[in-house]
Amino acid sequence: MGRPSRKKERAAPERDGNVVPLHGAAEEPAELSLRILWSLARWVEEVHGREQLERLAHTAGIEAAHLDGRNHWTSLARVETFLEGVRDLAGSDEGFVRACGHRIKESYGPLNYVLWAVTPDQVIANAVRTVRFVSRISRYEVLEHTRGRLRACYYGTRPESRWMCLSRQANAIYLPTIWGMPKAEIREHACIARGDPCCDYEVHVFASARWLPAVFGGLLGAAAGVLAGELALSLSPLVLTTALGATVGYLLELRRVNRLNLRLGAEVQETITRLTEEETQARQELHALRRRQEDWVRLVEEQLNDRSAAFQSALGRLRSAQQARETQIRGYSHDLRNPLAVIVSGIEELLAYEALSEDGREIATEVKKATVAMERLLKELMDAAIREGSVVRMAPERIPTEGLADRLRRRLKALAYGKPLRVSAFATREIPEHLTVDPVVFDRIVDNLLTNAVKYTDTGSIVVELTGTPSTLTLKVSDTGRGIPEARMREIFRPGASTARAPNSYGVGLSVVVQLLAQLGGRLEVMSREGIGTTFWAHFPVEAEDHRLSGTVEETIHRVVKIRSIDVKP
């Protein structure tokens, strides 16, 4: 077979809206125009070299020659792969956004001459209305448009990554630089990559001075000057009034622009203040979590010391009892061995008796075997241990449930701070008014469930729901994280099941949750699907009692934990 020609490797024209992938792969839909990658391609080429650009393009299944700003189309999956490669080169989200804004003025080509006739916010508004020219799988909906401000929602028919969202934001941020103006400020209220139905953007553009008011002021001044000149037969009023009119118009325009920029500056300051307050609140919640962890460790250490002393005392008593038992057993063994020796001796003499019949000799032989077995049993010792105890001594308190959802929401926001997650917590009308439980034990169970949800959820959302019955409070924690493999659903509740930190490990602390709920008389339910998410239901009795633990670990897990089927609606 001959070597395939270069012409066959290239993408076919998009006559039917599709492109032919490289190297004979299956056809993929023509969903996005490669024009959106022009700035990124130029950044990679200038910063990392042409070879790196060709490697990225080849990995994504895109012809590097098609990244020339012309009307070539490809699939969303290929664009996503290219964006991911550029993000790795950029090293951070901020660097990726800067790369997306590289040479943005040149990316518009001849349209630059048209852009100078309109304002940046008008260009952004027109761009969201004409997104069909670069995308066949998405649309924008303009929610609000005033001078210097635009809010719009982006809807896609396919799931998209965070890099697609950042590339769209970068275009809006850097667009005003075409006019020599500062970058736009963008506020993100929702993102598809985080599980929201749309990407919600609010764009603020700093206003620039317009020259038309000054020109109109100058023209009005000139008209007044001409009139005055006609009356006074002199040209000096013409020059004076023209300059005066232009100055007044310019000052009025400066005043308008200054008001707009002051308002925008106030909004920026308000945003900074809000972010600072959120970060402060997150730090306070993390500090409170650390205090709870320290309290728990101190409680465990105190009880370990108490148990150690009790263990030493019990060990001393056990050794004394063991010695007494051994002495008693030796006495019994000696007392039993003497008559057995007499029996063995008598049987041996009986077997030496020649007149003994065959039946008698056979019976004597069996008796001798049984006697030897009895001697062997006397030499064996057996030991049995019975476990009975509890995880922690309870100090129950009456805890009101009012405000509990708000406290858990703040705690969850602090744990998820810095991650692209949406978190929420709410209470239903069915929640009991109070809960009698040891607050340290209750916080330990809640912290373990929330920490696991945040730790193993990279994107999406975590929802906490508080509900129940008059006799039970139910804490429901749902996440869109990695999920738990079906084969490990029982294993994760065993002590030490997560110490190996396997890649598919769900996390530590669940064995403690099971033991504490067993001591409270509570229950734990779980429903999970790998790659989709996990939901836990922790059921607390309103009037919790200290139940002594009994049975093996497996028996405790079987008694406390219930695994729901994924088909069962919670």
Q: Are 94 and 184 part of one and the same domain?
A: yes
pLDDT given at position 233 = 43
pLDDT given at position 487 = 82
Is pLDDT at 132 greater than 70 in this prediction?
yes
pLDDT given at position 370 = 67
Residues 6+ apart with CB under 8 A from 39: 99, 100, 101, 102, 103, 104, 107
Mean pLDDT of 506-531: 84
Residue 446: pLDDT band (50, 70, 90) is very high
Is pLDDT at 24 greater than 50 in this prediction?
no
Is pLDDT at 485 greater than 70 in this prediction?
yes
Hey, how many other C-beta atoms are within 10 angstroms of the C-beta on 461? 18
Among 379, 414, 440, the domain-final residue is 379
Q: Are 246 and 118 part of one and the same domain?
A: no
Residues 6+ apart with CB under 8 A from 327: none
203 falls within a domain: no
Residues 6+ apart with CB under 8 A from 344: 368, 371, 372
pTM for the full predicted model: 0.44
Percent of the chain at pLDDT > 70 equals 65
Q: Are 62 and 128 part of one and the same domain?
A: yes
Beta strands in 165-260 (DSSP E): 185-190, 199-204
Is pLDDT at 434 greater than 80 in this prediction?
yes
Q: Give the long-range contacts of residues 55-60, CB within 8 A, separation 24 or more.
A: 56/82, 56/85, 56/86, 56/89, 57/82, 58/22, 59/85, 60/85
pLDDT given at position 432 = 93
| 203-216 per-position pLDDT tens digit | 887 655 555 455 55
pLDDT given at position 552 = 75
pLDDT given at position 473 = 95
Among 379, 409, 444, the domain-final residue is 379
Among 275, 291, 307, the domain-final residue is 291
Q: Are 330 and 410 part of one and the same domain?
A: no
2 falls within a domain: no
| 341-386 per-position pLDDT tens digit | 667 767 777 777 777 777 777 777 777 766 766 666 555 443 333 3
More confident residue, 330 or 420: 420
Nearest Cα neighbor of 118 from 178, 189, 158, 200 is 178
389 falls within a domain: no
pLDDT given at position 107 = 73
Least confident piece of the model among 69-73, 88-92, 397-401, 441-445: 69-73
Q: Are 287 and 303 part of one and the same domain?
A: no
Is pLDDT at 2 greater than 50 in this prediction?
no
Q: How many domains does one find in the chain?
A: 4
Residue 466: pLDDT band (50, 70, 90) is very high
Is pLDDT at 540 greater than 90 in this prediction?
yes
pLDDT given at position 324 = 59
Calculate the alpha carbon distances from 49 to 46, 227, 324, 491, 568 in Å.
Answer: 6, 66, 85, 50, 54
Q: Are 359 and 467 part of one and the same domain?
A: no
Q: Are 371 and 402 part of one and the same domain?
A: no
Residues 6+ apart with CB under 8 A from 146: none
pLDDT given at position 51 = 92
110 falls within a domain: yes
Domain hosting 49: range is 10-138+151-190
Residue 435 backbone class (left: φ over 0; alpha: ψ -120 to 50; beta: rest):
beta
| Torsion over CA: 551, 555, 557, 560 (sign) | negative
Q: Quote the CA–CA distance of 551 and 549 in Å, as a whole number.
A: 7
Mean pLDDT of 477-489: 89
Residue 265: pLDDT band (50, 70, 90) is low
- Residue type present at position 45: E
Q: Are 304 and 362 part of one and the same domain?
A: yes
Strands 199-204 and 149-156: antiparallel
Residue spans of alpha helices (H) in 190-235: 212-232
More confident residue, 410 or 259: 410
Is pLDDT at 100 greater than 60 in this prediction?
yes
514 falls within a domain: yes
pLDDT given at position 333 = 56
pLDDT given at position 492 = 86
Mean pLDDT of 411-422: 84
What CATH number corresponds to the domain at position 25?
A: 3.90.1520
Q: Are 302 and 272 part of one and the same domain?
A: no
Q: Are 412 and 485 part of one and the same domain?
A: yes
pLDDT given at position 468 = 93
Residue 178: pLDDT band (50, 70, 90) is confident
pLDDT given at position 328 = 56
45 falls within a domain: yes
168 falls within a domain: yes
Q: Are 494 and 444 part of one and the same domain?
A: yes
Q: Are 282 and 366 part of one and the same domain?
A: no
Percent of the chain at pLDDT > 90 equals 23
Is pLDDT at 525 greater than 90 in this prediction?
yes
419 falls within a domain: yes
pLDDT given at position 550 = 63
What CATH number corresponds to the domain at position 424?
A: 3.30.565.10
Give me the chain's average pLDDT, please.
75
